[in-house]
Amino acid sequence: MISDLRRAASALGLAGLLVGAGVAHAQFNLGNQRAGTSSGTFLKIGVGARAVALGEAFVAVANDPSAIYWNPAGLASMQRQEALLNHVSWPGDINYEHLAYVLPVRRFGGSFAFQLGVLSTDLDETDEYHPFGTGTTFTYSDFVAGVAYGRRWTDKLLVGFGIKYVREDLGSQVGGPVASATLVDLGSIYYLGYGSVRIATSLTNFGPEMAPRGTFTSTTGETRNYDAFDPPIQFRYGLAFEAVENAQQRLTVATEIAQPADNAPRAKAGLEWVWQRRFALRSGYNFNADALRFSAGAGIAIPVGKSHGAIDYAYTDGGPLLSVHRLSLGIRL
């Protein structure tokens, strides 16, 4: 009976994915006019190879240290110290390194997490007299550091929040501006009481407008202040459940709708199959994205004494942006 119910749930989940795809193509086109109206857009780059391999449909899964990025409520489900180091090879010779660490504290009834991320690339300085370069190379960099806390509010409800400092260095080595802001993340996960089915919501990157400090001289010779733009605020809501779960294997189904403040909604879905808690295959799809739609990946767990290590890889088809590769190294103490 239980097996039949799980098969039915799986079928319903897959049907939901197909329906979601149709709805995404038909209706999820409003908001495109807001593209390019946010600052701090490096915060849109997904953290964690596992989450990205699931098509970024991770708001209702969020059970590893990357939860500090997707949904801080997921931190409450972690009962041991964990660390996750993530590397992203982004188009344009841009690298993004992100470290997350989770520390459960029984005294506070939940788990704290800390994050540090740095995006950087080297650029050649150009001007109107030297369009092919002045011979000077400078570094463009973005930086984020933050702390979050998640706890189990009831036996079914998990809640979490986080605060982070964001800084953009737009070439200060050659006279470029610098912008910074303090942003807030909020999230929740609720188990419905039907097997492992849970729903989740998160609001990330909420905060004031970001504007570079100082002034600049326009082409007309006027001294002007820099314009301010909102951070890349994003609201996510989704559903996840285990269609199959036994001693040998686990199949997780996840769906999500993401509503960014500077673009149209995104419908996402992903599957994760885990064999004997040692090997995992994952795949996901972003139904109505302009690029970076299909993703896939794999992971392997490696016992290290009393600890457990993990290596995860994710590939995303970037279309005209070419492929994007992510590698994550994790350890559970």
Q: What is the DSSP string of 281-309?
A: EEEEEETT-SS--EEEEEEEEEEETTEEE
- pLDDT of residue 135 exceeding 80, the answer is no
At residue 34 the predicted structure's pLDDT band, cuts being 50, 70 and 90, is: low
Give residue 137's region: left, alpha or beta (phi > 0; psi -120 to 50): beta
pLDDT of residue 29: 57
- pLDDT of residue 300 exceeding 80, the answer is yes
Question: To the nearest whole number, what is the mean pLDDT of the chain?
Answer: 86
Q: What are phi and psi of 218, to 5 degrees?
A: -75, 175
> Distance between CA atoms of 181 and 168, rounded to whole angstroms?
9
- pLDDT of residue 210 exceeding 90, the answer is no
At residue 289 the predicted structure's pLDDT band, cuts being 50, 70 and 90, is: confident
- pLDDT of residue 223 exceeding 80, the answer is no
Tell me how far CA of residue 15 lies from CA of 10, 192, 231, 283, in angstroms. 9, 20, 35, 17
Q: Residue 72, SS3? A: helix
pLDDT in tens, 257-267: 999 988 889 99
pLDDT of residue 66: 97
pLDDT of residue 215: 74
Better pLDDT: 321 or 13 = 321
H helices then E strands: how many in the chain? 3, 16
- pLDDT of residue 50 exceeding 90, the answer is yes
pLDDT in tens, 187-204: 999 999 999 999 999 999
Say if CB 240 and CB 6 are below 8 A apart. Answer: no
At residue 307 the predicted structure's pLDDT band, cuts being 50, 70 and 90, is: confident
Say if CB 252 and CB 271 are below 8 A apart. Answer: yes
Query: Kind of pairing, strands 94-105 and 110-124?
Result: antiparallel
69: nearest Cα among 328, 333, 332 = 328
Q: Residue 270, SS3? A: strand
| First-to-final CA distance of the chain | 38
Better pLDDT: 40 or 220 = 40
- C-beta atoms surrounding 58 within 10 Å: 34
pLDDT of residue 211: 80
Question: What single DSSP character describes residue 228?
Answer: P
Query: Kind of pairing, strands 178-191 and 198-206?
Result: antiparallel
121, 48, 228, 179 alpha-carbon torsion, rounded to 10°: -50
DSSP codes of every residue in 189-204: EEE-SSTT-EEEEEEE
82: nearest Cα among 97, 60, 61, 67 = 67
pLDDT of residue 236: 97
- pLDDT of residue 180 exceeding 80, the answer is yes
